[in-house]
Amino acid sequence: MKTHHFVASLLALTIAPATLHAAPRKSIQPSHDPNTWVTRGEPEWAESFGGIRVFTDPSLDAQMGFTIPTEVQEVLVTGGQQVAKGDLLVRARDGEAVAAEMIQRLRAESELPIESAKIDLTVLDLEFQRKDAAFREGGASPLERDQAKARRDRAQVNLEIAKMQFAEQKLLLMRARGELDRFRLHAPFDGLIESVSVDPGQAVTQSQPVLRIVNIDRLKSRVPTPTRQVMQSALKPGDPAWLVMDLAGDPRVLLGHVTAVSPVADFPTQTTNVWIEIDNPDHHPAGLTAWVRFTRPTGEWAERIVSSNPIAPVPEAPVSPVVGAAKTADANR
């Protein structure tokens, strides 16, 4: 009897954790009291809107780092700061690279070697002219004349070499500036600094994340759409898409457009990735939950559509002269 009780207790302990793990997980949402949290599922309006549940991404997103092991010397930005394309964000210890760039810039901007070669050519050309005149009058031998001509021709070649080396110095300056740029991180586009992961004096390895910059003027989403819907609707770039984000207050329908449709469907899920973009004039943060549909909402949802970029109506197809003449003839009958 005791054995049966022991087996029953053991089975109860084994089944109980599995039952707990099988319970669906709900999202955490704030209640009316800001000091307490309650569990709540999706918004009540999500089911009536329909669509596919996704999350939003920044339109541009760059995780930046140095391409060489180095030491951070100066951090010029902080998280949340607005920056413009080309702004200097972080600078590594670049003293040697700066000196090398300055030396090379002096060489690339100096035309003294060319001027020196021009002077040599002028002097040797005058010498050749005197030797040639003397040769014509019998005052110089053919050897002396030929030697003067050779010295003049060599000076001409030296001038061309000086010009070529001047062009090479400019190319070497470009390389020196490229080497200097490896010690500096500049903003690749207008945007916001999402986070900075280093401090001055910190040693970093090659490709170690230093900062993240994003642009949320527009938001994008990858929508795993049923392949059958993609094919039936013939979705293509430029087609409209309607999106609702999980924001405080009454939901609003934002009008966006398709930017790309994957040429490959996912067999296990029978879906095809469709990418969309929407304007984000209110700068809502990226990463929010959203619902996307590719058919125009109706009823109350149609009244909630807002867009700073309304889609222009599709123009009617022009009638060809042949078709137009045929229609006129039919009408006259």
Does this model's pTM top 0.75? My answer is no
Report the residue count for the chain: 333
What is the C-alpha to C-alpha distance for residues 114 and 108, in angstroms, rounded to an integer?
12
Q: What's the token pair of residue 153?
A: 């021709």
Q: Distance (Å, rounded) from C-alpha 234 to C-alpha 231? A: 5
Nearest to 272 by CA among 256, 259, 261: 261
Q: Which tokens in the block code for residue 189?
A: 């586009």
Residue 152 token pair: 């003049």
pLDDT recorded at residue 307: 63
The answer to whether 165 touches 140, Cβ cutoff 8 Å, is no
pLDDT at residue number 306: 83
How high is the pLDDT of residue 1?
A: 46
Helix (H) or strand (E) holding 265: strand 253-266
As a dihedral over the C-alpha atoms of residue 71, residue 76, residue 77, residue 83, rounded to 10 degrees, the angle is: -120
Mean pLDDT of the chain: 83
Report pLDDT for 21. Answer: 39
Mean pLDDT by 10 residues, the chain (333 residues): 48 43 40 38 81 94 96 96 97 95 95 96 95 90 93 96 96 95 96 96 95 96 95 94 87 92 95 95 92 92 73 39 41 45
Q: Minimal CA–CA distance to 59: which of 242, 192, 211?
A: 192
pLDDT at 52: 93
For the chain, what is the radius of gyration of the CA atoms? 37
pLDDT for the residue 41? 59
